[in-house]
C-alpha cells in the first residue's frame, strides 16, 4: 500500500513536470555565434554579435512610435560606481554585472532579482579607473566574469554559484580585470587591466568547462621575440599595454581582434624610447592558439594615454569597386580607421575630431607627426585630450546603410610629464593633463555618423558637453545613446534628427542600451547610475483587478 | 617578565612609532630630479588655483607658507587631507603617493618667498562699511547679504589681496561654475537676467537677479544666451576710491569662515 502511494506521487510529479514548459537547452556555441536573432529572443555577447555591430534586427520600435516608449520597471543595484555593463538576456532572464564585483540574474518581465552574486574585494585593491565591470560571457550553463582582483570566474547560470575560479595574475602588482569575456568555440577570452601600474599585460584564453588556461598572448613581447626591441632597455617589463575592452571574432579566419592599451609610464617619453609594441595597436590572434597573425599600431610611442581599447567592428564593405573584409576603429587618438582585416593595412584613416598632434596617416601607415607634442614638466597643449576623440564606450554599425556611429568628444588638454619611479603596485603614469580653460577652447561632444568607405561624416548631432555613452542602433532606423547630462536620446539613424529623450538622472557611462523581445514586446534596457530600466511601447504594467 | 616585555614594547612604540608614521622633513628637498617631477605634479594638481608661480589665482598665495611658519609635515598633511569646507581637495593615496606630495613640496620650496614686510594697508572696520554699501546686495557674509554672487564668509582664507583687487577692479571672463551670467528671453519676449545653476541640451536652471530659482525648457522660451561678462560689476576708481578699496580688501582678508551658532542680539 505504501509503495502504491509513492508510485502515485511520482506519476503525479512527472505529469506536472511534463505539463510545465521544458527548460531551454544549454547555451550552445552556435547560439552565441548567431548573434542577435530576428525573433529578439536573446542577447548573448558584448557587442550583440561577434562582429560587435551592436545593431539589432528588431523593428517594433520605430522612428514613428519611439516617443511612445514607457518605463516598465526599474531595478536598483544599490551598488555605487560606474555601471558599465552590457547585460545578457536569454529565456526571459537578464544576466547583469555591476561595479565592485557584484552580479545579478533578473526576471526580464518584472525587474525582480532571481539571484545575486558578490565577490569580496581585497582591502588594498588598486584598480586604476573605477571598480567597474563590462559584462558577462556565456556558454553551456555557465556565465563568465572577469574580476577586479584579476581572476576569471565561472558562475552557474541558475544559481550564481561559483563553478570555477582561475587566477590571471596577482592584483597586488596592479593587475585587474574589467573586460566582458568573449566566448569562442570552447574557450573564454579575457585580458589584464592595469596599464597605469606598470604591469606587463596579456590576453588569455581559458577552457570554458574547466577554467584551465589554454593560451596567453603577452601584449609586450619578451626578450628574443619580435618587437621586444621597440622598448628601450628594461622598459618592456613595466610597459602596461593593458586589455580591458572586448574584441571581435572573425570565424572565417578564426581570428580574434583586440585593441591594446597605452604604454607605461603613460606620458614620459624618455622612460621608454621606441615604438613600444604592441601598445596602442590592434592585434589579430589565432583563436585556437593565441599566435599573432598581424598587428597595426595606431599611435607608435604614445605619450598621451591614448589606449587603443576602443571596440573593433567587422564588416565586408564595397570600397572602390571591391568587397573588402574590414575592421572599423574610431581611435582615442582622434583618427577613424578602416583596416583590411586580412592584412591589417589601413584602407581609410581620417580624423573624426580635431587633432593637432598628427597631420595625417602616411602611406606607410604611420602618423605624420606635428612637432611640439611631447609633454614635459612645463606642459604642451594637444587635441584631443587624454580621454580622447572617443574611448571605450561602444560605437555601432548599421550594415544596411553601411554607417559607423560614434559618440565623439572635442576637448583639448595641456599634457604635463615628469620622470616617474616604478614601485610595484603603485601608479606609474609619469604625468597627467589639465583641460584647457573653456574660455580658450570650449569642450563639447557629438554623435557622429561616419561613412567607413571614406571616413567622411554623414551627419552629426551636437552635444552640450563631451559624453561617455555607447550606441545601439536598430534595423528600424533608430539610434539610442546618451549625453553627459543624463539624457537618454533616440535619434533617426539616417538623418541624426532627435526623436525622443528622457532625463535619467545619471549619464549612461561607458555602455549603451540593449534590446530584445519579451512576450511579443520589444524592450529597450538602459543601465544608468545605479539603475537598470526597461522600456517598451504601449501601456505601463497593468494593475490586477 | 611579562610586564618588562610589555613596557619595552610600549617604550619602543613611543620612540619608533611616530617616526614611522610621520615624516617631519621633506626627504626630497633640493633634489633636482624630484624638483623637476614636482614641477609637473604641481602644474597638474595645483597651478589652476594657486597659479603657475604659486602667487594665487582662485586659491591663496602659497609662496610664503614656510616664511609664515608652516612646516613640511603640516603642508604634507594639508595636501593629503585637503582643507574641509574649502575648495582645496585631498590628494589621496593610491592615486597620489607620498613621494608625489614630497616632490610637489620640493618644487614649491623653489618658489618660496619671504613673508611680506610692508605694513598692512586699509582699515577693516571701514572696509566692512564699504562692503555693506557696495557688495552686500549680491554677496553674503556670516549669513547676511544676497545670494546672486558667491558667499564670501571665508574669502580671506582662499584669495590673495592681489587676486581680490584684480577681480574688483578688472572683473574676470572665467566664471565660477554656478555663477555664469545668462539671459533667458521668455516666449513673450521678456528678458530674465541671472546666473546659471545648471544646464543640459534641453533646459537651463537659473537664479535671476531677484533671487528666484527657476528652470526653463529651451523649446518653450525664445532664447537662452550666455553672457560674456561676469554678473559682478567692475569697480573702477570712479566707483570705488583707492582708499575705500584698501579698506574693503583689508576687511575681506579678515573673513576666515562663518560661525553659524546663534548668538544673543547685541
What pLDDT is stored for residue B129 in this prediction? Answer: 96
CATH topology classification for B180-226: SH3 type barrels. (2.30.30)
- The whole-chain average pLDDT of chain B stands at 86
Upstream peptide bond of B101 is cis (omega within 30 degrees of 0): no
**pLDDT above 50: residue B13:** no
**pLDDT above 70: residue B11:** no
Domain that holds residue A190: 44-536
What pLDDT is stored for residue B3 in this prediction? Answer: 56
Q: How sure is the predictor about A7, in pLDDT bands with cuts at 50, 70 and 90?
A: low
Q: What are phi and psi of A232, to 5 degrees?
A: -70, 135
Say if B227 is an interface residue toward chain A (CB within 8 Å): no
Nearest residue on chain A to B37, alpha-carbon basis: A418
Say if B215 is an interface residue toward chain A (CB within 8 Å): no
Nearest residue on chain B to A445, alpha-carbon basis: B201
Q: Between B87 and A327, where is the model more confident?
A: A327
Q: Which chain A residues touch B if contact means CB-CB below 8 Å?
A: 126, 376-379, 414, 416-421, 423, 426-427, 431-434, 437-439, 463-464, 483, 485-487, 501, 503
Give B67→chain A minimum CA distance, Å.
Answer: 26
**pLDDT above 90: residue A245:** yes
Work out the percent of chain A whose per-residue pLDDT is above 90: 89
What pLDDT is stored for residue A545 in this prediction? Answer: 44
- Whether A139 is covered by a domain: the verdict is yes
Q: Helix, strand or coil for residue A416?
A: strand
pLDDT tens figures, B131-180? 999 999 999 999 899 999 999 998 887 788 888 998 899 887 677 889 99
The two most distant CA atoms of chain B are separated, in Å, by 91
Sort A50 into a burial class: Cβ within 10 Å, 0-12 / 13-18 / 19+.
buried
What pLDDT is stored for residue A284 in this prediction? Answer: 98
**Helix or strand (DSSP H, E) at A419:** none
CATH topology classification for B20-110: Cytochrome Bc1 Complex; Chain D, domain 2 (1.10.760)
- Cross-chain residue pair A379–B43, CB shorter than 8 Å: yes
Q: How sure is the predictor about B181, in pLDDT bands with cuts at 50, 70 and 90?
A: very high
Region A91-95 average pLDDT: 97
pLDDT tens figures, A328-384? 999 999 999 999 999 999 999 999 999 999 999 999 999 999 999 999 999 999 999
- Of B151, B200, B196, nearest to B177 by C-alpha is B196
- Whether A27 is covered by a domain: the verdict is no
Enumerate the active-site residues of A: 305
Nearest residue on chain B to A421, alpha-carbon basis: B99
Nearest residue on chain A to B33, alpha-carbon basis: A419
What pLDDT is stored for residue B8 in this prediction? Answer: 55
pLDDT tens figures, A207-226? 999 999 999 999 999 999 99
What pLDDT is stored for residue B14 in this prediction? Answer: 45
- Whether A38 is covered by a domain: the verdict is no
Say if B228 is an interface residue toward chain A (CB within 8 Å): no
pLDDT tens figures, B101-132? 999 999 999 998 887 777 889 999 999 999 99
**pLDDT above 70: residue B22:** no
- Whether A363 is covered by a domain: the verdict is yes
Region A123-127 average pLDDT: 79
On whether the CB atoms of residues A252 and A289 are closer than 8 A, the answer is no
- Comparing A63-72, A196-205, B66-75, B242-251, the range with the smallest average pLDDT is B66-75
Instruction: Specify the DSSP class assigned to residue A68.
Output: G
Indicate the number of domains in chain A: 1
Q: How sure is the predictor about B61, in pLDDT bands with cuts at 50, 70 and 90?
A: confident
Region A412-423 average pLDDT: 93
Q: Between A58 and B162, where is the model more confident?
A: A58
Instruction: Specify the DSSP class assigned to residue A280.
Output: T
Secondary structure (DSSP) of B188-246: TS-EEEEEEEEE-SSEEEEEETT--EEEEEGGGSSEEEE-SS-SSPP--TTTS-HHHHH
In chain A, count of helices (H) and strands (E)? Answer: 2, 39
Instruction: Specify the DSSP class assigned to residue A240.
Output: B
Say if B51 is an interface residue toward chain A (CB within 8 Å): no
Q: How sure is the predictor about B56, in pLDDT bands with cuts at 50, 70 and 90?
A: confident
Q: How sure is the predictor about A514, in pLDDT bands with cuts at 50, 70 and 90?
A: very high
- Whether A17 is covered by a domain: the verdict is no
Cell readout for A333 is: 587618438
- Comparing A17-31, A452-466, A497-511, B48-62, the range with the smallest average pLDDT is A17-31
A418, A426, A486 member nearest B40 (Cβ) = A418
- Comparing A170-174, A232-236, A511-515, B51-55, the range with the smallest average pLDDT is B51-55
**pLDDT above 50: residue A40:** yes
CATH number at residue A118: 2.140.10.10
Three-state SS letters, A481-502: EECCCCEEEEEECCCCCEEEEE
- Whether A21 is covered by a domain: the verdict is no
**pLDDT above 80: residue A443:** yes
**pLDDT above 80: residue A127:** no
- Whether A12 is covered by a domain: the verdict is no
Q: Helix, strand or coil for residue A460?
A: strand
What are the b/e assignments for A513-534, b being 16+ CB within 10 Å?
Answer: bbbbbbeebbbbbbbbbbbbbb
Q: How sure is the predictor about B194, in pLDDT bands with cuts at 50, 70 and 90?
A: very high
**pLDDT above 70: residue A18:** no
Spatial distance between the Cα atoms of A127 and A121, rounded to a whole number of angstroms: 11
On whether the CB atoms of residues A259 and A329 are closer than 8 A, the answer is yes
**pLDDT above 50: residue B19:** no
- Of B221, B247, B36, nearest to A417 by C-alpha is B36
Query: Which residues of chain B make contact with A381, given a CB cutoff of 8 A?
Result: none
Spatial distance between the Cα atoms of A380 and A304, rounded to a whole number of angstroms: 11
What pLDDT is stored for residue A527 in this prediction? Answer: 98
Q: 10 Å Cβ neighbour count for A159?
A: 13
Query: Which residues of chain A make contact with B199, given a CB cutoff of 8 A?
Result: 464, 485
What pLDDT is stored for residue B17 in this prediction? Answer: 40
What pLDDT is stored for residue B24 in this prediction? Answer: 87
In chain B, count of helices (H) and strands (E)? Answer: 9, 7
Amino acid at each position: 500500500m505504501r509503495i502504491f502511494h509513492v508510485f502515485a506521487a511520482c506519476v503525479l510529479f512527472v505529469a506536472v513536470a511534463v505539463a510545465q514548459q521544458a527548460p531551454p537547452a544549454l547555451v550552445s556555441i552556435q547560439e552565441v555565434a548567431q548573434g542577435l536573432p530576428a525573433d529578439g529572443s536573446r542577447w548573448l555577447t558584448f557587442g550583440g554579435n561577434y562582429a560587435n555591430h551592436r545593431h539589432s534586427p528588431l523593428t517594433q520600435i520605430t522612428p514613428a512610435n519611439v516617443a511612445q516608449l514607457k518605463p516598465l520597471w526599474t531595478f536598483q543595484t544599490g551598488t555605487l560606481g560606474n555601471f558599465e555593463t552590457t547585460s545578457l538576456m536569454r529565456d526571459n532572464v537578464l544576466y547583469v554585472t555591476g561595479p565592485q564585483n557584484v552580479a545579478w540574474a533578473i526576471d526580464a518581465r518584472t525587474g525582480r532579482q532571481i539571484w545575486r552574486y558578490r565577490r569580496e574585494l581585497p582591502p588594498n585593491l588598486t584598480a586604476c579607473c573605477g571598480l567597474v565591470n563590462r559584462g558577462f560571457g556565456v556558454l553551456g550553463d555557465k556565465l563568465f566574469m572577469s574580476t577586479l582582483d584579476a581572476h576569471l570566474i565561472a558562475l552557474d547560470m541558475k544559481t550564481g554559484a561559483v563553478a570555477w575560479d582561475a587566477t590571471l595574475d596577482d592584483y597586488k602588482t596592479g593587475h585587474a580585470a574589467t573586460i566582458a569575456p568573449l566566448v569562442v568555440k570552447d574557450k573564454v577570452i579575457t585580458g589584464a587591466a592595469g596599464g597605469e601600474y606598470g604591469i606587463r599585460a596579456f590576453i588569455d584564453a581559458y577552457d570554458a568547462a574547466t577554467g584551465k588556461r589554454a593560451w596567453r598572448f603577452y601584449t609586450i613581447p619578451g626578450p628574443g621575440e619580435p618587437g621586444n626591441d621597440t622598448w628601450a632597455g628594461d622598459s618592456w617589463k613595466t610597459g602596461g599595454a593593458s586589455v580591458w575592452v572586448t574584441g571581435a571574432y572573425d570565424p572565417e579566419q578564426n581570428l580574434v581582434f583586440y585593441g591594446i592599451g597605452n604604454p607605461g609610464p603613460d606620458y614620459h617619453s624618455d622612460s621608454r624610447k621606441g615604438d613600444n609594441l604592441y601598445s596602442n595597436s590592434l592585434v589579430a590572434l589565432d583563436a585556437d592558439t593565441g599566435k599573432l597573425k598581424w598587428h597595426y599600431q595606431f599611435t607608435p610611442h604614445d605619450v598621451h594615454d591614448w589606449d587603443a581599447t576602443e571596440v573593433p567592428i567587422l564588416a565586408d564593405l564595397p570600397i572602390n569597386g571591391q568587397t573588402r573584409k574590414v575592421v572599423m576603429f574610431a581611435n582615442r587618438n582622434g583618427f577613424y580607421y578602416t583596416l583590411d582585416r586580412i592584412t591589417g593595412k589601413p584602407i581609410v584613416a581620417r580624423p573624426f575630431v580635431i587633432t593637432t598632434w598628427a597631420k595625417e596617416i602616411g602611406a606607410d601607415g604611420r602618423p605624420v607627426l606635428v612637432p611640439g607634442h611631447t609633454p614635459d614638466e612645463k606642459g604642451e597643449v594637444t587635441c584631443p585630450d587624454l580621454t580622447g576623440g572617443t574611448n571605450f564606450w561602444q560605437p555601432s554599425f548599421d550594415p544596411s546603410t553601411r554607417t559607423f556611429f560614434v559618440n565623439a568628444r572635442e576637448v583639448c588638454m595641456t599634457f604635463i610629464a615628469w620622470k616617474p619611479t616604478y614601485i610595484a603596485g603603485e601608479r606609474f603614469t609619469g604625468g597627467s593633463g589639465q583641460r584647457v580653460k573653456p574660455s580658450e577652447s570650449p569642450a563639447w561632444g557629438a554623435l557622429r555618423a561616419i561613412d567607413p568607405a571614406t571616413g567622411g561624416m554623414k551627419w552629426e548631432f551636437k552635444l552640450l558637453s563631451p559624453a561617455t555613452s555607447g550606441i545601439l542602433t536598430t534595423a528600424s532606423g533608430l539610434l539610442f545613446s546618451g549625453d553627459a547630462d543624463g539624457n537618454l536620446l533616440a535619434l533617426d539613424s539616417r538623418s541624426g534628427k532627435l526623436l525622443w529623450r528622457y532625463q535619467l538622472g545619471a549619464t549612461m557611462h561607458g555602455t549603451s542600451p540593449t534590446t530584445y523581445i519579451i512576450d511579443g514586446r520589444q524592450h529597450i534596457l538602459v543601465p544608468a547610475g545605479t539603475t537598470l530600466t526597461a522600456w517598451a511601447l504601449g501601456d505601463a504594467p497593468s494593475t490586477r483587478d | 617578565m611579562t610586564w618588562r616585555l610589555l613596557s619595552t614594547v610600549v617604550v619602543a612604540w613611543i620612540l619608533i612609532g611616530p617616526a614611522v608614521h610621520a615624516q617631519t622633513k621633506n626627504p626630497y628637498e633640493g633634489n633636482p630630479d624630484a624638483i623637476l617631477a614636482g614641477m609637473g605634479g604641481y602644474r597638474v594638481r595645483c597651478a589652476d588655483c594657486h597659479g603657475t608661480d604659486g602667487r594665487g589665482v582662485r586659491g591663496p598665495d602659497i609662496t610664503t607658507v614656510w616664511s609664515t611658519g608652516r612646516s613640511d609635515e603640516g603642508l604634507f598633511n594639508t595636501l593629503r587631507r585637503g582643507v574641509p569646507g574649502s575648495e582645496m581637495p585631498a590628494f589621496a593615496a593610491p592615486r597620489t603617493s607620498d613621494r608625489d606630495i614630497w616632490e610637489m613640496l620640493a618644487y614649491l620650496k623653489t618658489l618660496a618667498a619671504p613673508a611680506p614686510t610692508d605694513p598692512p594697508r586699509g582699515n577693516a572696520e571701514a572696509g566692512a562699511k564699504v562692503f555693506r554699501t557696495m557688495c552686500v546686495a549680491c554677496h553674503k557674509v556670516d549669513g547676511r547679504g544676497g545670494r546672486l554672487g558667491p558667499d564670501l564668509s571665508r574669502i580671506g582664507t582662499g584669495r590673495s589681496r592681489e587676486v581680490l583687487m584684480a577681480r574688483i577692479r578688472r572683473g574676470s571672463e572665467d566664471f565660477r561654475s554656478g555663477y555664469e551670467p545668462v539671459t533667458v528671453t521668455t516666449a513673450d519676449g521678456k528678458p530674465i537676467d541671472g546666473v546659471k545653476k545648471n544646464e543640459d541640451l534641453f533646459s537651463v536652471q537659473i537664479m535671476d537677479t531677484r533671487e528666484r530659482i527657476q528652470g526653463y525648457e529651451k523649446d518653450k522660451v525664445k532664447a537662452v544666451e550666455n553672457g560674456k561678462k561676469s554678473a559682478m560689476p567692475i569697480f573702477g576708481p570712479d566707483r570705488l576710491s583707492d582708499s575705500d578699496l584698501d579698506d574693503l580688501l583689508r576687511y575681506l582678508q579678515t573673513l576666515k569662515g562663518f560661525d553659524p551658532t546663534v548668538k544673543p542680539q547685541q
